[in-house]
Amino acid sequence: MSQPLMRVRDGAIIGGVCGGIAKWLGWDPTLVRLGYVVLSVLSAAFPGILVYIVLWILMPREPV
């Protein structure tokens, strides 16, 4: 976790948020995305969507 938390450019599905979190943690991006979907569904989806949008705005994009 020595690198800063950033949205990924390569392998981004929507905004690169889950991919960036996975890269930062050293985890598989698919597992982070599945975990995000499960948590969003269990929380009636709205908080999960709101958190994703906030992170999309706040997380800087990975440099080219």
7 φ, ψ to 5°? -70, 140
**Residue-level pLDDT at 1:** 55
Candidates 53, 26, 24, 22; CA nearest to 35 is 22
pLDDT in tens, 42-61: 888 788 889 999 999 999 99
**Residue-level pLDDT at 33:** 94
pLDDT in tens, 14-26: 899 999 999 999 9
**Residue-level pLDDT at 12:** 87
% pLDDT > 70, the chain: 98
Task: Tell me if the pTM is above 0.75.
Answer: yes
Can you tell me whether residue 40 is helix, strand or coil?
Answer: helix
